[in-house]
Amino acid sequence: QAVASEFARAGVVEGDRILLLGKSTPAFVYGYYATHWLGAVAVPFDPQAPLSRRDELIERTQPKLVFGAVEEPHPRLGRIRALQQLCGLPAGAVAAAGPALDGLADVIFTTGTTGRPKGVRLTQRNIATAAGHINAVIRCREGDVEVLPLPLFAAFGLGRLRCGLLGGRTLVLVEGFRLPGEIFGAIDKHGTVGLSGVPAGFAVLLRLFLVAFPLDAQMWSMVFAVLAAVTMTIGNLLAL
């Protein structure tokens, strides 16, 4: 509500685009859902993308607001705001009917490895249906804890965020697989029952830590892992 109120004061209305270039932090989550609350459209993108690609994306989407890693001037927008500014805003409320189910929710851009990045348009119904189906398959319980070391600007990480919050679960955000000790520390600290990742990330964990890292019983109490879009048991992971 505080972030949505801030967006409304900046003139954001239904249908406006808000570009979110940020790491997997609470500030990104606040910005993403505040955008939806106002009926606006979230455009997540890689904060490490070249400036030329970022500026091309700005021209293509014509966003009302842009949030990045740091605040900086921009010739067309006036300024790009720091995403972290969305944390610690004063309490506020904004009257909004909420997004229409068939209204546009997100525009997710491909990485552009084979050409110009393509924007995929997703409605609120699209993302709600997908999250509901995935939760029905994985069958997590309300209150479960999942460690999420995936970028939220990408489709997989964003999908796990939606599934977790729709299912009433707690998500522990970890910045990638570069420091596997942080992942295992989060599993141990938070009583985690789930871990999501991509094949390369799980390969790092298996190669570096499953033998050498002193895992306690908590690791073996995990119930599920999501590898790309495939649900796997811990036993299956150990067999890789």
Query: Tens digit of pLDDT for each residue in 1-18?
Result: 899 999 999 999 999 999
CA distance 32 to 221: 32
At residue 181, the pLDDT reads 82
In this predicted structure, what is the pLDDT of residue 212? 53
- Compute the half-sphere exposure of residue 184: CA atoms within 13 Å on the CB side of its CA: 20
pLDDT above 60: residue 233:
no
- The answer on pLDDT for 203 being more than 80 is no
User: pLDDT category, 183, cuts 50, 70, 90?
Assistant: confident
From the list 83, 77, 48, 78, the residue with the least C-alpha distance to 63 is 77
CB atoms closer than 10 angstroms to residue 155: 17
Per the prediction, the chain carries an average pLDDT of 86
**pLDDT tens-digit profile of 52-77?**
889 999 999 999 999 999 999 988 88
